[in-house]
Each structure stands twice: as structure tokens, then as C-alpha cells.
């Protein structure tokens, strides 16, 4: 294809949901701030219906954003670190399989692309009559799943600026993304799976099971758990081992949470600090420090409060109540 410019990158990216905190795709959820925009104008975007549709296009150092004309509500976006190729499509044809339309049609919403048929039996082609075309493409396993975008600039000067800017910016954004440490990339993946619904439900079930074991322990009391010589009977040993197993599991869960949200996101969260306190005291009770049975039961009972951290509505209420109010 004539006029090929740009860069090609090959990489494997973690598939993350846009609402994950600090994930690299969060930039694709918000229209760039005015101070960050390097370009902002109304261009045309070729959609699947074979028509040019007006779109507001803006790009910053991190993202290409599309919105409806006059709007800041983002309708599509391309993270620049996923931009793998920028192509000058001036005076080129693109194969089109729909029936040919000889005349250009227009209305208030879109402009039909002129299509010409070369010879009988040949594929119909979309003919770009204006020498101001740009094609972008994203990674097949990334945010846009390999979708190709074809946009039309308003003039030759704007066309050249977009090609030059996006070629340069995509290289810088890709280099920046690939320069991330292995620690940060591992954090992103761990955070994604830790915040997944299935993992949170699994932890919630464990918390409920631990509370049931604690309630059983309290209900039976020393009379039902100890032998006459003061040693634990079979039921007492089972509940003791079960408590140790829960403590070990919750310790691993806490370490995963700490790794995924290290440093400030973890230590600035009230629920994370509560988890840290409960798990720490539970570990101390397993060590050389002999805590009274009443304190141990209290700590085990407090574990069920960790369930609230996994219920969004309850968590929001507790967060509001924790804010100091003036009299």
C-alpha cells in the first residue's frame, strides 16, 4: 500500500476490565482533558455501514478518543500503546462486498462513500476520493480486539499532522508501556483476579464458614470441647485445626491483597487495615503468645465483619460513617 508510515508492535496484554483501579485501559474511559489534547477536531469516521459519519476526534499523549460532534461523551477510544500501524490511505481503494452505488448520496447524519465497479466479476471497491485518509489498527488481543479505524481529515495539512503525531505518540506510548517493571505488570494481573466476583465470593464463603465454626466453638464451650484432664477432645482438636486452616487461608488472601494494592492503596483503605489487624492477631495467637480464650473467640467473631468489605453498599455506608462530621 502506498505511503505506508508507522510502527508495528507485537505484545501480549492482560485482558483487564476498564473499572479496575490503575489499569492501563482506564484512559480509554474518559475524553482527554482540554489541557492534555494535542488535537481536537470534527472529522469523519468510516463505519460498518459503508458511510462516513461525523465524529469529534481528540488525542493526547495516551489515547485517541471519539465522541459525537459537540460532545465530550466518549463513544470509542484507542489506547495509544495499542496502536500498531498508521497508514496513509490517500488515493487508494478498499475492497467492499456490498452492491455498487454509482452516485454519492448525503444526508444530515452521514455521507455515503462513492463506490465504483471496475469490471464484471470484480469485487466492488470503496474509492477514497479525497487524499486525506488515515487507517489505524489495534492489537488483536487488546482493548479494541484488532478493529481497524478509517478516518478522513479535512485537508492535506491536517492529514499529514495526524499521521506524523500518531506515529510518534504511539511509539512513545508503547515504549512507556513496555518499560513497566515486571512487578507492576504482575500487580495488574493479580489485582484483576483478586477483584473478580468469583474470588470475592470464594472468600466470602470462607468467612461465613469460619463464623459458623466459631459459633459452634462458643456454643459447645469447654464442657463440650475439653476432656476431664483439660486436654482437647476430638471435637475440640478438629475445631482448633480448622481455625488454624482458616488463619492460614486468610493470611494468604491478605498477602495477595497487599501485593495487588501495594503500597498506598492498601494502607489508606480502612477495610484493608482491619483485615491486617485481625489476621495479625490470629497469627500471634498461633505463636508463643498464649491469649485468653475469650479474646480468641472475640477475634474469630470479628472475622465475619470482613464480609462487609465485600458488599459494596455496606462498604459505602461504613465509609460515610467513618468520615468525621462537624457538630
pLDDT one-digit tens code per residue, 193-232: 998 888 988 988 898 898 899 889 888 888 888 888 878 8
CA distance 233 to 238: 9
pLDDT of residue 11: 36
Which residues are CB-contacts of 188 (< 8 A; sequence separation ≥ 6)?
Answer: 14, 16, 20, 22, 23, 24
The pTM is what? 0.48
pLDDT of residue 136: 61
3-state secondary structure of 27: helix
Which residues are CB-contacts of 184 (< 8 A; sequence separation ≥ 6)?
Answer: none
What value does the mean pLDDT take over residues 173-187?
82
Higher pLDDT, 318 or 69: 69
Termini Cα distance of the chain: 71
pLDDT of residue 85: 84
Asked whether residue 36 carries a pLDDT value surpassing 90, the answer given is yes
Least confident of 112-121, 174-183, 268-277: 112-121
**DSSP string spanning 57-110?**
EEE-SSEEEEE-TT--SEEEEEEGGGEEEEEE-TT-EEEE-SPP--S--B-SS-
Sheet arrangement for strand 124-127: 93-96, 124-127, 115-116
CA distance 139 to 135: 14
pLDDT of residue 167: 92
| 263 CB neighbour count, 10 Å cutoff | 8
39: which strand partners? 59
Asked whether residue 271 carries a pLDDT value surpassing 50, the answer given is yes
Higher pLDDT, 88 or 142: 88
Least confident of 231-235, 262-266, 290-294: 290-294
pLDDT of residue 120: 38
Sign, CA torsion 124/129/49/138: positive
Which residues are CB-contacts of 128 (< 8 A; sequence separation ≥ 6)?
Answer: 89, 90, 91, 92, 93, 94, 113, 152
3-state secondary structure of 118: coil
DSSP element (H, E) containing 264: helix 264-267
pLDDT of residue 128: 57
Which residues are CB-contacts of 179 (< 8 A; sequence separation ≥ 6)?
Answer: none
pLDDT of residue 123: 40
pLDDT of residue 321: 57
Asked whether residue 91 carries a pLDDT value surpassing 70, the answer given is no
Asked whether residue 290 carries a pLDDT value surpassing 90, the answer given is no
pLDDT exceeding 90 applies to what percent of the chain?
A: 28
Amino acid at each position: 500500500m502506498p505511503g505506508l508510515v508507522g510502527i508495528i508492535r507485537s505484545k501480549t496484554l492482560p485482558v483487564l476490565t476498564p473499572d479496575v483501579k490503575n489499569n492501563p485501559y482506564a484512559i480509554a474511559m474518559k475524553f482527554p482533558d482540554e489541557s492534555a489534547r494535542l488535537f481536537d477536531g470534527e472529522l469523519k469516521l468510516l463505519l460498518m455501514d459503508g458511510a462516513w459519519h461525523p465524529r469529534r476526534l481528540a488525542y493526547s499523549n495516551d489515547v485517541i478518543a471519539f465522541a459525537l460532534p459537540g460532545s465530550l461523551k466518549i463513544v470509542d477510544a484507542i489506547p495509544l500503546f495499542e496502536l500498531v500501524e498508521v497508514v496513509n490511505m490517500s488515493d487508494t481503494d478498499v475492497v467492499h462486498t456490498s452492491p455498487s452505488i454509482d452516485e454519492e448520496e448525503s444526508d444530515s447524519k452521514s455521507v455515503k462513500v462513492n463506490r465504483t465497479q471496475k469490471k464484471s466479476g470484480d469485487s466492488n471497491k470503496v474509492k477514497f476520493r479525497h487524499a486525506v485518509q488515515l487507517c489505524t489498527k489495534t492489537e488483536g488481543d487488546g482493548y479494541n480486539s484488532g478493529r481497524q479505524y478509517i478516518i478522513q481529515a479535512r485537508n492535506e495539512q491536517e492529514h499529514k499532522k495526524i499521521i506524523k503525531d500518531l506515529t510518534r505518540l504511539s511509539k512513545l506510548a508503547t515504549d512507556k508501556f513496555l518499560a513497566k517493571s515486571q512487578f507492576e505488570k504482575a500487580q495488574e494481573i493479580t489485582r484483576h483476579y483478586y477483584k473478580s466476583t468469583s474470588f470475592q465470593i470464594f472468600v466470602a464463603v470462607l468467612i461465613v464458614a469460619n463464623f459458623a465454626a466459631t459459633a459452634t466453638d462458643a456454643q459447645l464451650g469447654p464442657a463440650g470441647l475439653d476432656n476431664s484432664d483439660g486436654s482437647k477432645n476430638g471435637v475440640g482438636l478438629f475445631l482448633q485445626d480448622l481455625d488454624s486452616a482458616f488463619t492460614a487461608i486468610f493470611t494468604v488472601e491478605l498477602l495477595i491483597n497487599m501485593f495487588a494494592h501495594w503500597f498506598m492503596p492498601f494502607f489508606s483503605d480502612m477495610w484493608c487495615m482491619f483485615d491486617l489487624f485481625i489476621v495479625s492477631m490470629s497469627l500471634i495467637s498461633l505463636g508463643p503468645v498464649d491469649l485468653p480464650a475469650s479474646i480468641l473467640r472475640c477475634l474469630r467473631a470479628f472475622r465475619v465483619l470482613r464480609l462487609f468489605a465485600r458488599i459494596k453498599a455496606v462498604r459505602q455506608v461504613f465509609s460515610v460513617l467513618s468520615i468525621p462530621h462537624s457538630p
